[in-house]
Amino acid sequence: MTPPGSRAAQAMPLRKLAAEKGLVYGTTISAAQISTDHEFVDLVLQQVGLVVAENDMKWQDMNRGRPGKDDYGAADTVAAFGIENDLALRGHNLLWYYRTPTWFFDLATRRDQERAVVEHIQRLAGRYRGMVHSWDVVNEPIEPKDGRPDGLRTAVFVETLGPEYLDLAYRVARETDPTARLVVNEYDVELDTPDHEARRTTLLNLLERMRRSGTPVDVVGIQAHLCCAGGPPFSASRLRRFLADVAGLGLTIQITELDVTDENAPADLAERDQLVADTYSRFLDAALDEAAVKMVVTWGLSDRHSWIARRETNESKWRSDGVPSRPLPFDADLKAKLACEAIANAFVHAPQRVAG
Ligand code: XIL
């Protein structure tokens, strides 16, 4: 039997359904996948209009243990793949506390840290100047639980450089690649909990400050790593209000890392796939109501290559019963699932918008 998802997807690939509404649909990819998994690459070329390196452009992943010693080989492979295939390219990311090379922590002075940040941004954003649709300049800048009045994450950059590191990073990114849209990318701002609400408020305050002080920022990236069972509640109206607040600041919005973990869902495949698909529908139906949302990127395209299914870390969210996770639109055999149909339907029902 043909799974229902494949009918929608085969009739019209996700990228086309998205493009008809002024949206861009994209996925992560890696240099390793590009060179070894041709079947997967074919699916990517059929389904998406944009690619983003899952890890290959992260500073720590590229760095070879010393300042200035970055290996751009894998990053170049992803960028070239995008350009050669006429796909838009997201840059992920210029700064992320979690993937900063270890030597950076030993830089004692403000001057040394500032120089390292500036040079890194100039080299990386400069290398792909004119090729990148959007750069996640700072990934995950806030953490209200760290206790600062401004809600900024205390880790790494704030410690020595102060909150001005944000202004510095966005200015250097703008100077280096003036055509790239500059993004603040953040997680856990989607759901209906006090924690997510506090993060939304903090993020809005940060964006307001950046706008007021003339710091060049164009886009808010909402990661949207969701969960289909046993997770916090979702409120469509809360999400819509937040997105409207972001749009009110004159910014556009990208959904940058969408996926749905099935960690607490029953093992039964049909039931699990339905729960995952319903989660995609609920989230996208609400999010795409807002015309400032211009892009949807899933954090992978097939369960074959999901960070959730990969179990590369020991994080507790991966399923403990050994049943392979099914968080993405296509399964590990590259067959469309109900999740694919849910995304296709969300695009079909989305209001028309001006592309951006
Ligand atoms: C993840 C990758 O998918 C993993 O392969 C890697 O081990 C860790 O990073 N938020 C982000 C992404 O901004 O860069 C993360 O990607 C997922 C969470």
- Which protein residues touch ligand 1 with a CB less than 6 Å away? 54-55, 139, 223, 257, 307, 312
Supply the pLDDT for residue 5. Answer: 45
Whether the predicted pLDDT of 261 surpasses 80 = yes
Q: Tell whether the model's pLDDT for residue 9 goes beyond 60.
A: no
116 three-state secondary structure = helix
- Note the pTM of the prediction, 2 decimals: 0.96
For ligand 1, the distance from its centroid to the CA atom of residue 98, given in whole angstroms, is: 9
183 has pLDDT over 60 = yes
Query: Which residues, in sequence order, are bridge partners of residue 182?
Result: 135
pLDDT at residue 69 tops 80:
yes
| pLDDT tier at 284, thresholds 50, 70, 90 | very high
Please compute the mean of the pLDDT values over residues 184-211 and round it to a whole number.
98
Q: Ligand 1 centroid vs 11 CA: distance in angstroms?
A: 32
Burial 172-209 (b: 16+ CB within 10 A, else e): bbbebbeebbbbbbbbbbbbebeebebbbbbbbebbee
For 42-47, what is the mean pLDDT? 98
Which residue's CA is minimally distant from atom 17 of ligand 1?
257
pLDDT-derived band at 1 (thresholds 50, 70, 90) equals very low
What is the reported pLDDT for 319?
80
Cα–Cα distance, 143 to 198 (Å, whole number): 9
C-alpha neighbours within 13 Å on the C-beta side of residue 240: 11
Average pLDDT over residues 172-190: 98
Give the closest residue (by CA) to ligand 1 atom 3. Answer: 307
Question: For residue range 306-341, what is the model confidence (pLDDT) as tens digits?
Answer: 999 776 555 545 687 888 899 999 999 999 999 999
Question: Cis peptide leading into 205, omega within 30 of 0?
Answer: no
Residue 254 has pLDDT above 60, yes or no: yes
- pLDDT, residue 4, reads 47
Cα of 52 from ligand 1 centre, angstroms: 12
Contacts of 221 (CB under 8 A, 6+ apart): 134, 136, 183, 184, 185, 186, 253, 254, 255, 256, 257
